[in-house]
Amino acid sequence: MSHPSDIEIASAATLRPITDVAHDLGLGDDALYPIGHHMAKIDAEQLNDRPAAGKVVLVTALTPTPAGEGKSTMTVGLTDGLNRIGVKTAAALREPSLGPVFGMKGGATGGGYAQVVPMEDINLHFTGDFHAITSANNLLAASIDNHIQQGNALGIDPRRIDFRRVLDMNDRALRQVVIGLGGPAQGVPREEQFTITVASEVMAILCLATDLEDLKSRLGRITVASTYDRQPVTVDDIGVAAAMTVLLKRAIQPNLVQTLEGNPALIHGGPFANIAHGCSSVRATQTARQLADVVVTEAGFGADLGAEKFLDIKAPQADCYPDAVVMVATVRALKMHGGVAKEDLKAEDVDALRRGLANLDRHVSTMQRAGAEPVIAINAFVHDTAAEVAALRAWCEERGLRSAVVEAWARGGAGATDLAQQVSGALEQPAQMRSFYAAELTVEEKIRTLVTEVYRGDGVEFSTTARRKLAEYARQGWDRLPVCVAKTQYSFSDDPSLRGAPEGFSLTVRDLQVRTGAGFVVVLTGDIMTMPGLPKHPAALDMNITADGVVSGLS
């Protein structure tokens, strides 16, 4: 008997009315903005008198491989597991992007019996947040070109516009375009590059803003272009920060849904994990901390990117440093880090696994440097052998690390109670975590710190462009901002082929981009794709819907 698909499991579930889920959190109907019967926005302003006292558990992972590590599934499973052992817990997750659902990736709502529901809605339009971000982003973009068309009083150089239009769609043909063609009445011709909505600075801002005022101020501070005499132009110069905030008025409120086991999940925001910080929103985390005793949240990619950005970008904004860290590892991924090819993963290979532990080891020591002893969550897969799992557990024991084998995908919260016990134990002595670098360091110093402390490379090379930007940022007063490194997620280095725990490498910084609204400097170490394409056979081709509205082919 084959395992049912994610959408089959999700569709067969009986959901609790979202008002019931909210009532369990002490939220009355007045604090809810329902969207259907199983989703609601929380009016976070009504909670202002409650302390954000809940403990934060950050779910991170070893370096990802094509084998997959199941971080969202683990986050959902752990939430259910903690509730099963009597700890009042809420999950805080990122919203999936709509575009990739029709491409190759599928959704991002967990898997198997550890999912958030209503899965179909969450993976499609959900509560409209991303559409609102798209609208706000594109209102700004249209306003910039309109400003130029209507006389260009600010003297914007059309060759130096950094702010881009977005769509929440995988649309390769929009990666490089020329707009404003057709003569004087149709605008000023210039090059443009559409990106996917999750790559918008508006998305990053929404996820970091603490309230509407902060949102409006941050939007106003976005640097969109340079003038002909190379002075930065901001949204406040253009004058549409308030109009953008009007469009985001509801999107800033966190969304409440539930796990398959009826436990609360706040799903809000979904910034890219490379050119942005890859965490769900500050507001969702803080709201969840006001409502539950424990919040389980995740950060994108491996600990070198996701957990690092959580600690250096998100946590300082809201003092939401994790009280415990869960690090997801899989036998499959460890074997790949140990040199096994994807097609050979089904064969037992304890030696390869042991070699691959060098990767996990480095991430563990990084978390230790930041102040936490991570709990190792071993996400069980069908072809894992007893010897492989035993080797992994023995390694954890040698290192003095708590660990648990988790079967949340196959069994839901019941498959995660061991992990829940370990996490609960860890929370008895909360970690005292800190950022990797001090706020007052320069951008260059911050990058060097990450290379040394987190990636464990030998040094950093800056391209001529990057050097020029460093000097410019110093002149503009942007050189003490946190850094957001856009690096391959498949390696500690900037070379995706270097699995395991590479040594002796140097990181090459190709370019920098300042995000004055979000408040960080993006450090580009390679070509980062910000507009995905559709594959040869997109998932869209296999979707269907019956006359009664039953959807299939969504994964």
Binding to a copy of itself, residues 361-420 (CB under 8 A): none
* Tokens standing for residue 459: 């040094």
Among 132, 276, 296, 405, binds a copy of itself (CB under 8 A): 132
* CA pair distance 73, 305, nearest whole angstrom: 19
* Tokens standing for residue 400: 């003095």
**Contact in structure between 78 and 90 (CB atoms under 8 Å):** no
CB of 132 to a copy of itself, least distance (A): 6
* CA pair distance 126, 266, nearest whole angstrom: 12
Is there a catalytic annotation at residue 194?
Answer: no
**Amino acid letter for position 250:** R
* CA pair distance 226, 231, nearest whole angstrom: 5
**Contact in structure between 72 and 248 (CB atoms under 8 Å):** no
**Contact in structure between 532 and 99 (CB atoms under 8 Å):** yes
CB of 249 to a copy of itself, least distance (A): 5
Within 10 angstroms of residue 280's Cβ, the number of other Cβ atoms is 28
CB of 109 to a copy of itself, least distance (A): 16
Q: Which is nearer to a copy of itself, 26 or 553 (CB)?
A: 553
- The strand pairing partners of 116, in sequence order, are 259
User: Three-state SS string across 481-501, please?
Assistant: CCEEEECCCCCCCCCCCCCCC
DSSP state of 440: T
Of the candidates 19, 84, 88, 105, the residue annotated as catalytic is: 105
- The strand pairing partners of 261, in sequence order, are none
**Residue 289 dihedral angles phi and psi, to the nearest 5°:** -65, -25
* Tokens standing for residue 115: 């999912």
* CA pair distance 513, 515, nearest whole angstrom: 7
Q: Which is nearer to a copy of itself, 35 or 426 (CB)?
A: 35
CB of 171 to a copy of itself, least distance (A): 4
Q: Which is nearer to a copy of itself, 102 or 478 (CB)?
A: 102
Is there a catalytic annotation at residue 411?
Answer: no
CB of 159 to a copy of itself, least distance (A): 14
- The strand pairing partners of 462, in sequence order, are 509
HSE, CB side, 13 Å, CA atoms: give it for residue 505: 19
User: Interacting stretch for a copy of itself, rule CB under 8 A, among 74-82, 108-116, 390-398, 545-553?
Assistant: 545-553
Is there a catalytic annotation at residue 431?
Answer: no
Among 20, 50, 155, 186, binds a copy of itself (CB under 8 A): 186
**Residue 509 dihedral angles phi and psi, to the nearest 5°:** -90, 110
146 binds a copy of itself (CB under 8 A): yes
548 binds a copy of itself (CB under 8 A): yes
Among 102, 301, 436, 437, binds a copy of itself (CB under 8 A): 102
Is there a catalytic annotation at residue 71?
Answer: yes
Is there a catalytic annotation at residue 409?
Answer: yes
**Nearby residues of 344 by Cβ (< 8 Å), 6 or more positions away:** none
447 binds a copy of itself (CB under 8 A): no
49 binds a copy of itself (CB under 8 A): no
Q: Which is nearer to a copy of itself, 146 or 432 (CB)?
A: 146
**Contact in structure between 553 and 515 (CB atoms under 8 Å):** no
- Give the three-state DSSP class for 84: helix
**Amino acid letter for position 183:** G
Q: Which is nearer to a copy of itself, 79 or 287 (CB)?
A: 287
| x/- letters, 69..98, toward a copy of itself (CB under 8 A) | -----------------------------x
Among 213, 344, 351, 503, binds a copy of itself (CB under 8 A): 213
CB of 102 to a copy of itself, least distance (A): 6
Q: Which is nearer to a copy of itself, 128 or 262 (CB)?
A: 128
Is there a catalytic annotation at residue 436?
Answer: no
329 binds a copy of itself (CB under 8 A): no
CB of 157 to a copy of itself, least distance (A): 15
* CA pair distance 168, 492, nearest whole angstrom: 29
* Tokens standing for residue 308: 């690092």
128 binds a copy of itself (CB under 8 A): yes
Of the candidates 126, 272, 310, 381, the residue annotated as catalytic is: 381
Q: Which is nearer to a copy of itself, 219 or 329 (CB)?
A: 219
Is there a catalytic annotation at residue 301?
Answer: yes
CB of 46 to a copy of itself, least distance (A): 12
Helix 201-208 to helix 129-149 angle (10° resolution) is 130
Of the candidates 199, 273, 380, 539, the residue annotated as catalytic is: 273
Residues of each annotated binding site for ATP: 65-72
Name which of residues 153 to 182 contact a copy of itself (CB under 8 A).
165, 167-182
**Residue 496 dihedral angles phi and psi, to the nearest 5°:** -60, -15
Closest CA to 267 of 120, 396, 90, 102: 90
Rounded to a whole number of angstroms, the CA Rg of the chain reads 23
Name which of residues 273 to 292 contact a copy of itself (CB under 8 A).
none
Chain Cα centroid distance, residue 356 = 25
* Tokens standing for residue 462: 């800056």
Name which of residues 515 to 544 contact a copy of itself (CB under 8 A).
533-536, 538, 540-541, 543-544
User: Interacting stretch for a copy of itself, rule CB under 8 A, among 56-64, 145-153, 439-447, 484-492?
Assistant: 145-153
Within 10 angstroms of residue 234's Cβ, the number of other Cβ atoms is 17
| x/- letters, 236..275, toward a copy of itself (CB under 8 A) | ---xx-xx-xxx-xx-------------------------
14 binds a copy of itself (CB under 8 A): no
CB of 351 to a copy of itself, least distance (A): 39
User: Which active-site residues does the annotation give?
Assistant: 71, 73, 94, 105, 273, 301, 381, 409
